[in-house]
A and B are shown apart, each in its own frame.
Chain A
Amino acid sequence: MSRAALLVLADGRFPAGGHAHSGGAEAAVRAGRITGAASLEDFCRGRLHTTGLVSASLAAAAALGADPVTLDAAADARTPSSALRAVARRLGRQLMRAARATWPSGELDSLAREFPKGAHQPVVLGLVARAAGLGAQDAAYCAAYESVSGPATAVVRLLSLDPFDASAVLARLAPELDLVADRAGEAARRVPSDGIEALPAVSAPLLEITAEDHATWPVRLFAS
């Protein structure tokens, strides 16, 4: 398969439902913690090195063929917020639906049977990368990029931020994306020898806390 499959999978227009989520940015905007491009960058950088790294590692491990049920339990343990676990499973289910139509695969079929309500999105993403003929590093890049592209796009809508500024934020984060994707790939390759705890578990306390609050807002622009 071709590397271009990565572009299809990472494209924001791939119909996997990600556009409805701000990755915690909506709550941060409301709290006055994101007010422009500089604070958006700081937000994205923090998200990248915490949930971004964790997601990228899970995706890379799934792409390498680690047991998805074990990975899903590891994702649960790394996602204390019940609101964020629900979001991760919903996004996993939506990605599964789009991916099975795009890259039909027996592994995706069996994961869908195992988790009818959806597995954690990064685990699905890793298996989708496998189905698309991509490697662990590709899966890690995809997850790491999603961890920052979602908030950046959302803040364009939430703050009427100039889209050029949002893209510049993502471009400035590119070297750190490389770093995170590398770390994720290394951690995933250690799973067969060191077990599932080789995967990073870095958390972002404010994302966990504000997700529970955001889930109760009666009116909001984004689902999370």
Chain B
Amino acid sequence: MKSRVDGVTTGVRATARIVARDDGRGGTSLPVLAGEGPLALRRTRATGDEARVMLVGAMSGPLGGDHLTVEADVGGGALLHVGSAAATLALPGQAKGEARYDVRLEVAAGGELRWLPEQLISARGSELYVSSRIDLARGARLVYREEQVLGRAGEEPGRLTSRLTVRLAGRPLLDQETACGPGAPGGWDGPAVLAGHRALGQLLVVRPEFTEFPAGARMLGERAALTPLAGPAVLVTAVAPDALRLRRVLDEALAAVL
């Protein structure tokens, strides 16, 4: 929570943690569902054998100086779906320095995680570093979406750096970083990287069946491509003029892949 050391505002530190386990009756139990500060968690109506959790932002953030962490641990036979009630808005804060948002996800063999939160919006003047690490056991299943929107409507973006590192059975499966906004290395908005697009997103699907039946690469319109990774997974990479059109492409891809 917000603390003040020697008169200096240091920002919020908070961790939310979800543990999902096979309940032994064909469903998924949540032995740990612990929010903190601005990270509140709600269990919502589930369908079938899945447990569904909604991440509810109890205040807007992250603000400069904040350090937020969300962790999920999915055991074998468990199926966890995580969404969020609203977009996450990175804003400048009173505290000095950038904000940090860490996502730490673990899925055991035979477990499945569907991580489908709303967009992350980088507001003018904000500075945020997002680090997402996903560790999958061989035989784990994952659907993971992330969307970044650079600025609210008509607004200049803040500085946003986001690294997604996915490991499967301890080996790297996907490692991608994007760095956008004022102060990012040159050319980030140029013809090789974003070319003026203000929304970018990735949809990652990991599934053991892809080992035997690999997916082929294909375009999804002009601004998105589906490609098989060097492992049992496909990745959709998309850019779009705005959040709405980005979501449309990723939704179509999700429907096609699932």
Contacts and interface: CB of A to CB of B under 8 A. Distances in A.
Contacts of A207: 192-193
Contacts of A200: 177
Nearest to B161: A202
A174 to B, nearest CB: 13
Given A176-B186, A212-B225, A77 B174 contact: yes
Contacts of B229: 76-77, 80, 82
A78 interface: yes
A77 B188 contact: no
A204 interface: yes
B186 A45 contact: yes
Contacts of B218: 212
Nearest to B179: A202
Interface in A44-86: 44-50, 53, 73-74, 76-78, 80-83, 85
A180 to B, nearest CB: 9
Interface in B177-200: 177-179, 185-188, 190-195, 197, 200
B192 A43 contact: yes
B243 interface: no
A213 to B, nearest CB: 5
B245 interface: no
A34 B230 CA distance: 31
B142 interface: no
A82 to B, nearest CB: 5
A46 B176 CA distance: 15
Nearest to A77: B172
A206 B227 contact: no
B193 A50 contact: yes
A76 to B, nearest CB: 4
B219 interface: yes
Contacts of A43: 187, 190-192
B217 interface: yes
B145 to A, nearest CB: 15
A76 B227 contact: no
Given A82-B228, A83-B217, A201 B176 contact: yes
Q: Among the interface residues A47, A48, A49, A216, which one has the most CB atoms of the partner chain B within 10 A?
A: A49
A205 B193 contact: yes
A42 interface: yes
A77 B231 CA distance: 9
Contacts of B188: 46, 49
B79 to A, nearest CB: 26
Given A76-B230, A212-B225, A206 B178 contact: no
Contact of A208 (B165, B175, B225, B228): B225
Contacts of A74: 172, 175
Contacts of B175: 74, 77-78, 197, 201
Contacts of A34: 191
A122 interface: no
B190 A76 contact: no
A204 B178 CA distance: 7
B163 interface: yes
Contact of A80 (B176, B193, B224): B176
B195 A33 contact: yes
Given A24-B192, A46-B193, A201-B163, A212 B187 contact: no
B217 A39 contact: no
Given A73-B171, A77-B175, A213 B187 contact: no
12 contacts: A45-B187, A73-B172, A73-B230, A77-B174, A81-B227, A197-B172, A200-B177, A206-B194, A207-B192, A208-B225, A209-B239, A212-B218
